[in-house]
Amino acid sequence: MAYLPLITLVLLSAQAQDNLTTVLKRVEVRYNTTKTLKSEFEQTMAVAQGRRVTERGTLYLRKPGQMRWEYSQPTGKLFLSDGKTIHYVTPSAKRVEVSPMKASDDLRAPLAFLLGKLDFAKDFSRFEHSQSGAQWKVKAFPKSAKSPYEYVEFFAELDGRLSLVTVTGRDGSSMSYAFRSEQRNLPLANELFQFKAPEGYDLVTLRSEP
């Protein structure tokens, strides 16, 4: 009987791991079978001295590799990827920054993992997790030391839907995205992912392809 608590802990640990594996699989299946996606988002950025900046808008995703973050607050702000190149429009500066997708260190770029074939075992080395009711909180650490982020933390529902994703950069900065009203596999116009330069804006190339 003295060994019963230890055996119970081992069994509970194994069960928790099985449950985590199941949850990750549901996330993979959901987003690997998603060809297009539209969702409202609220983005919270942690900036200097503990300040936080919150912005809102609509996110459009289409495989392979296309994403459009269209902001309603602030109006006119845009983060657009056609799968190869990122265009980042800042209305307050009347500036468009251009960079290769694969070279970007912007904390929106890691969410491109939703646009490929999602494979947690391939992309992440280890996980920390906890459960609150029907929702799972998972912290995933990337395998590559060259990754622009330290870890990705997300809240997953039992159906695999991601309701909150936080990306923490290697400099300690972080960006959180709360998602709602998710729609999957709906028709999305090609024009959503084609960049048109706003008149009077400066076009600045941040980094060239190697």
Range of the domain at 200: 4-205
Confidence category of residue 146, pLDDT binned at 50, 70, 90: confident
Report yes or no on 210 lying in a domain.
no
Strand ordering across the sheet containing 95-100? 124-132, 135-142, 149-156, 162-169, 174-184, 36-46, 52-62, 66-73, 75-81, 85-90, 95-100, 202-205
pTM for the full predicted model = 0.80
What would the pLDDT profile of 21-60 be if each residue is shown by its tens digit? Answer: 999 999 999 999 999 999 999 999 887 677 889 999 999 9
Is 181 inside a domain boundary? yes
Q: How many domains does the chain have?
A: 1
- Give the CATH number, domain containing residue 53: 2.50.20.10
